[in-house]
Structure formats: structure tokens, C-alpha cells
């Protein structure tokens, strides 16, 4: 599957004009809620220039937002001990699609949660510029697709659609939420499933899209990447893994000794001993970083970890031989994120929203959802995430002996673009055998 952004830009002037010329986005030959009509509001052939400093700021903001989100999901009684994966990029993108339509306190709360001082349009353009980093090859595939689904006849502001077109090259679909909410829900979910190569199914649960829905914003992110240095399956064997509750399980564990970026420390950064290693993927600037607190220190370490401390850990990584053992793991995470976002200070978008930049009619966000999946094995990583918003009316040191990192206890991981620091996926593994 290939990303649609590049191929659609040259059709932009005609197609965007068609969207903006339809006063109510109606009379467009809709084929019904089950499929919807796509009006491709594509970006102009020449995208607006984005200040590189703003792109860097957006990447750093996404990093901080991702850690906040992971903390919000894993510090609850239900979330503390479970495997979790989130896509900071996916959620920052759908919220970035929402921001140009927000005004007043609604815009201020979203900006604060997203750690950005950019104005909404600048933030959308900066995030969109980051999202263009698409790769398709034999050893690394990364693509992202953004879509807008709107009620037939609903008067979306032309300036809002133009911003989404310029920033995200977002496809605009019309459907009939009022008459057939279930058919519309299935159409939205099918598009996300297709864009994630079947990895994310049923992003929106039954009844989360209803007759009051006016718009749905979605982001779909898919990654398939082979390690630059693959693990040999012949070296994989069952080894003990020490879980948070003190029990020990034998889990399928890979191993290799080679040159990796590695760091360790205690006290100075987060007050707890830790080890970290970076595993690069082939054919690109992507890598997986693994951060392993000392046995018994996982809870205190993760609670104290913030973005500056994470930056210092990643900045300490340096090339050296590493005797590495890493459990295989594969699990999914599904979250309705309203409570998590409220804990980060986002309230008015759900309660007394000012989304007048989207439409003059009163609107509010009814649901924010994300489903993510990650699979790590000897060859590499496959990961995907679907994110959605429902809107309703109302230099290397000298060689040393190999560092030993046998990951036999809970750990954190992130998949990031090493050229920008932007985190695509972020999570914790507390039990490699849990699904």
C-alpha cells in the first residue's frame, strides 16, 4: 500500500475548488453511508513553507505529549501493570487537525496539553510537515493517512478545510451520520483498517458514532521495519522474565552480541538505576530505544520520567559492544482517551467547546479514541495505530568489553525518528506473553 499524499497534490486546485464551491458539502453524488463520497481536498502542488524551527518544536512537543499520555494511561489502578502502546504521533495529528477549528479556552487547553506555543494553523502545518516523512521499501515501510468524514449538508467552514488540505492532504468524505450512523461507523473503520494493512480494526466502537455526529477526524499510521542487524532465530530460547508482581515466567527471548548505542546510569537522571539500548532499523532514520529500569525500580522510574530526562537518556547513548537479550512481544492497546485528556487539562472541548472555526453551529467532541498494535520479533517490528476524534452537534568511544543487557524485567520502548526525535510509538512491556 502507498500513501496517497504525493499522488494527489497535482489535482489539488480543481478538487479543493470543488469542495469549497459546495456551500453545504451536499449534492455531491453521495453513494450512501456505507461507502461515502470522497472529495479530495488535497494540498496545492506547492505546499506552504514551514519554518524548520517550528517543525523541530512540534517534534519536541509530541515527545512531551506522548510521555504525558503514557503516564495518564499507566498510573491508574487498571493501567499500572499492563502492557501498553500508544502512538503520540497519531493522536497529535488528529488533535492537530482539530486545533485550527478551536477558539478561546478550547484552543488554549489543547495547545497546553500538546506542549505547543505555535498558533493552531502553524502547529497543523508543522505536524503535517513531519507526517510527510513517508518511506516505502523492501526493508522499511512507513505511511500515514488522514481523513475527514462529514455529514451530508453540514456547513463546514472553507478556511478550515483549506488548512487541513494544506497541512495534511486530508481526504474529505461525505456520509449520512443522521440516517445511518452504523453504516457510517463501518465506513470510517474500514478506511482505517485498510490504511493500517488490516492491523487496526473497529477503531470506533458501536454507538460512538451516532445521529448527532457531524464530523469524524482520523489518522492511520503503519510501520513495518526490519532490524539493521537481525536476530538469529536459532539463538531464541525460553528465558526467565521477572514480572511486576514478583512472579517469574519463561518467555521466548532473542539474543545477539553486536555494536549498538548503549547507556546506563543511576541517580543523576531519574534517581533510579537504568540501562538503555538503541536498535536501528534498516534503510532509514528510525530506531527502537529500550529503557530498562533495575529490578524493583520500574514504578518509581516511570513515574519520575519526563521529557528532559528522556532526552538526557537518549543523548547519553554511545556506540559499544552489547550482549543483548530481548523478549519477543506482540500486543494491542485500545483506549477511549477522554479521561486521559481531561487529566491533562483538556475539558472545554468536551463540555463547552468553541469550535467555531469548523462551523458556525455549536459543536463538541464526543469521543477521542486510539487503537495501537506492536509486534517485535527476530526480523524487526510491525506496528500500527488508528486515532480518531468524533465531533457532534452542540562520536564513538574506544572499544570496551560488551555491556550486558539481559531484558528479564519490565521495560519501556519507543520507536522514533532519530533525525527529529519524533516518537511514532511509545509503550511499556510488563509481561511479554500477555496479549
Residues, the chain: 435
- What DSSP letter does each residue of 127-145 carry, written as one string? HHHHHT--EESSSEEEEEE
Same domain, 252 and 177: no
Clarify whether residues 260 and 216 are in a common domain.
Answer: no
Q: Are residues 389 and 401 in the same domain?
A: no
Domain count, the chain: 2
Say yes or no: 139 and 177 in one domain.
Answer: yes
Residue 51 lies in a domain: no
Backbone angles phi, psi at 22, to 5 degrees: -90, 105
| Entry pTM | 0.87
Q: What is the pLDDT of residues 388-432, one digit of tens each?
A: 999 999 843 445 688 899 999 999 999 999 888 889 999 999 999
Do the domain assignments include residue 75? Answer: no
Is residue 422, in this structure, part of any structural domain at all? yes
User: What does the pLDDT average to over 240-246?
Assistant: 92
Tell me if 368 is assigned to some domain.
yes
Average pLDDT for residues 73-78, to the nearest whole number? 80
Q: Are residues 298 and 411 in the same domain?
A: yes
Whether residues 30 and 177 share a domain: the answer is yes
For the cut 50, the answer to whether the pLDDT of residue 28 exceeds it is no
Are 137 and 285 in the same domain?
no
Residue 280 and residue 142 in one domain: no
Per-residue pLDDT tens over the stretch 273-318: 899 999 999 977 899 999 999 998 898 888 888 888 899 999 999 9
Note whether 274 and 400 are same-domain residues. Answer: yes
- Residues 255, 120 share a domain: no
Whether 123 is in a domain gets the answer yes
Within a domain: residue 64? no
341 and 322 part of one domain: no
- In a domain, residue 199? The reply is yes
Q: What are phi and psi of 360, to 5 degrees?
A: -75, -25
CATH code for the domain of 235: 2.30.39.10
- Taking each helix axis from N to C end, the angle separating 158-168 and 88-98, rounded to the nearest 10 degrees, works out to 150
**H or E element, residue 57:** helix 52-74
Q: Is residue 70 part of a domain?
A: no
DSSP code for 104: H
**In the structure grid, which three cell numbers stand for residue 200, read together?**
487496526
Please report, to the nearest 10 degrees, the dihedral formed by the alpha carbons of residues 419, 423, 429, 434 taken in order.
Answer: -120
pLDDT in tens, 196-226: 999 999 999 999 999 999 999 999 999 999 9
Per-residue pLDDT tens digits for 257-282: 999 999 998 755 566 789 999 999 99
What would the pLDDT profile of 123-138 be if each residue is shown by its tens digit? 999 999 988 766 777 7
**pLDDT-based confidence at 340, cuts 50/70/90?**
very high
Residues 100 and 239 in one domain: no
Q: Which grid cell is 81?
A: 501493570
Q: Which long-range contacts (CB under 8 A, 24 or more apart) does 302-308 make?
A: 302/71, 302/74, 302/412, 302/428, 303/71, 303/75, 304/270, 304/271, 304/272, 305/67, 305/270, 305/412, 306/64, 306/67, 307/60, 307/63, 307/64, 307/67
Q: Are strands 318-327 and 403-406 parallel, antiparallel or unpaired?
A: parallel
Express as a percent the part of the chain with pLDDT over 90. 71
Domain that holds residue 231: 227-328+396-429
Q: Any idea what the CATH number is for the domain that residue 145 is in?
A: 3.30.497.10
Q: Which of 343, 338, 340, 358 is nearest to 107 (CA)?
A: 358
Calculate the alpha carbon distances from 37 to 26, 108, 148 in Å.
10, 34, 11
The percent of the chain in helix, strand and coil, each rounded to the nearest 5, is 30, 35, 35
Amino acid at each position: 500500500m502507498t500513501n496517497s499524499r504525493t499522488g494527489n497534490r497535482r489535482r489539488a486546485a480543481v478538487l479543493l475548488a470543488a469542495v469549497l464551491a459546495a456551500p453545504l458539502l451536499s449534492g455531491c453524488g453521495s453513494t450512501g453511508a456505507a461507502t461515502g463520497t470522497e472529495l479530495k481536498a488535497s494540498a496545492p502542488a506547492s505546499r506552504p513553507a514551514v519554518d524548520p524551527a517550528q517543525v523541530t518544536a512540534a517534534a519536541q512537543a509530541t515527545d512531551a505529549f506522548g510521555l504525558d499520555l503514557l503516564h495518564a494511561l499507566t498510573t491508574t489502578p487498571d493501567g499500572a501493570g499492563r502492557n501498553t502502546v500508544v502512538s503520540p504521533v497519531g493522536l497529535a495529528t488528529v488533535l492537530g487537525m482539530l486545533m485550527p477549528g478551536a477558539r478561546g479556552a478550547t484552543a488554549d487547553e489543547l495547545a497546553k496539553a500538546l506542549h505547543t506555543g505555535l498558533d493552531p494553523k502553524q502547529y497543523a502545518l508543522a505536524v503535517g510537515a513531519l507526517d510527510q516523512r513517508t518511506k516505502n521499501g523492501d526493508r522499511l515501510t512507513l505511511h500515514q493517512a488522514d481523513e475527514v468524514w462529514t455529514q451530508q449538508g453540514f456547513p463546514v467552514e472553507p478556511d478550515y478545510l483549506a488548512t487541513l488540505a494544506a497541512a495534511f492532504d486530508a481526504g474529505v468524505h461525505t456520509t449520512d451520520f443522521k440516517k445511518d450512523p452504523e453504516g457510517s461507523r463501518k465506513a470510517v473503520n474500514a478506511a482505517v483498517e485498510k490504511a493500517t494493512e488490516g492491523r487496526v480494526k473497529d477503531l470506533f466502537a458501536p454507538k460512538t458514532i451516532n445521529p448527532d455526529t457531524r464530523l469524524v477526524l482520523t489518522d492511520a499510521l503503519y510501520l513495518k521495519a526490519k532490524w539493521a542487524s537481525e536476530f538469529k532465530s536459532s539463538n531464541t530460547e525460553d528465558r526467565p522474565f521477572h514480572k511486576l508482581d514478583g512472579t517469574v515466567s519463561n518467555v521466548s527471548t532473542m539474543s545477539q552480541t553486536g555494536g549498538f548505542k548503549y547507556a546506563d546510569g543511576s541517580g543523576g537522571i531519574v534517581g533510579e538505576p537504568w540501562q538503555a539500548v538503541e536498535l536501528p532499523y534498516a534503510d532509514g532514520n528510525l530506531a527502537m530505544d529500550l529503557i530498562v529500569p533495575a529490578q524493583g525500580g520500574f514504578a518509581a522510574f516511570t513515574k519520575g520520567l519526563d521529557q528532559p530526562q528522556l532526552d538526557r537518556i537518549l543523548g547519553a547513548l554511545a556506540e559499544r559492544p552489547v550482549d543483548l537479550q530481548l523478549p519477543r512481544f506482540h500486543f494491542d492497546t485500545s483506549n477511549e482517551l477522554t479521561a486521559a485528556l481531561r487529566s491533562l487539562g483538556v475539558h472545554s472541548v468536551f463540555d463547552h467547546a468553541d469550535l467555531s472555526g469548523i462551523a458556525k453551529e455549536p459543536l463538541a467532541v464526543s469521543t477521542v479514541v486510539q487503537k495501537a498494535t506492536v509486534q517485535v520479533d527476530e526480523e524487526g517490528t510491525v506496528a500500527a495505530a488508528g486515532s480518531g476524534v468524533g465531533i457532534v452537534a452542540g562520536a564513538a568511544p574506544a572499544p570496551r568489553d560488551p555491556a550486558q543487557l539481559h531484558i528479564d524485567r519490565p521495560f519501556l520502548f519507543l520507536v522514533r525518528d532519530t533525525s527529529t526525535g519524533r516518537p511514532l510509538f511509545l509503550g511499556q512491556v510488563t509481561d511479554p506473553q500477555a496479549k
